[in-house]
Amino acid sequence: MAKKTKRLSQTCQQLSEDITRWTGTTGAFIMAACVVLVWAVLGPVFRFSNEWQLVINTGTTITTFLMVFLIQRSQNKDSLALHLKLNELVAAMQGASNRLIDVEALSEDDLKTLHRFYGELAALSRTEINVSQTHSVEEARNRHGLKVKGGRKH
């Protein structure tokens, strides 16, 4: 049973990737525009009836409903890959703050706190002649404090 589930999952994954890739093409847009154009041209033939309107409404509703899931799946995968790449960079960079590895798993309050810290780091770095002088909020605070105590202005 596990093999069938895995095979079904792989088939769905491949199908959704193919559809997502195709729907982002010029050909897909042209085809959608042609469908709408044909529908509009057929309006007078069907005397703009309720059935005529129902065809486009039903088609667009079903398409939109399915595309929401395809787009979300694609974004989830892209987001995960991007997070992994960023985690690798943070982990590999000497001096980088490891608290940012897997930062997306933190609570909103924790993210807001980090955002404030990095806002402070940005403000402190504006006072630096060389913006690459500091690597962390703590280091920036220490260096800034030393400058203020030493009476140096940059």
Q: What is the pLDDT of residue 152?
A: 46
Q: What is the pLDDT of residues 34-43, one digit of tens each?
A: 999 999 999 9
How many folded domains does the chain comprise? 2
> Is residue 2 pLDDT above 90, yes or no?
no
143 within some domain: yes
Q: Are 22 and 28 in contact (CB under 8 A)?
A: yes
| 54 occurs within a structural domain | yes
Task: Show the beta-strand stretches assigned E in 22-74.
Answer: none
CA–chain centroid gap for 124, Å, is 29
* Tens digits of residue pLDDT in 41-71: 999 999 999 999 999 999 999 999 999 999 9
Q: Let me know: does 124 contact 139? Beta carbons within 8 Å.
A: no
13 and 66 both lie in a single domain: yes
Q: State what percent of residues in the chain have pLDDT above 70.
A: 87
Is residue 75 over pLDDT 80?
Answer: yes
pLDDT of residue 141: 74
- Give a yes or no: residue 43 inside a domain: yes
Residue 68 CB burial class (10 angstroms; 0-12, 13-18, ≥19): exposed
pLDDT value for 101? 86
What is the 8-class DSSP label of residue 127? T
Domain that holds residue 145: 106-150
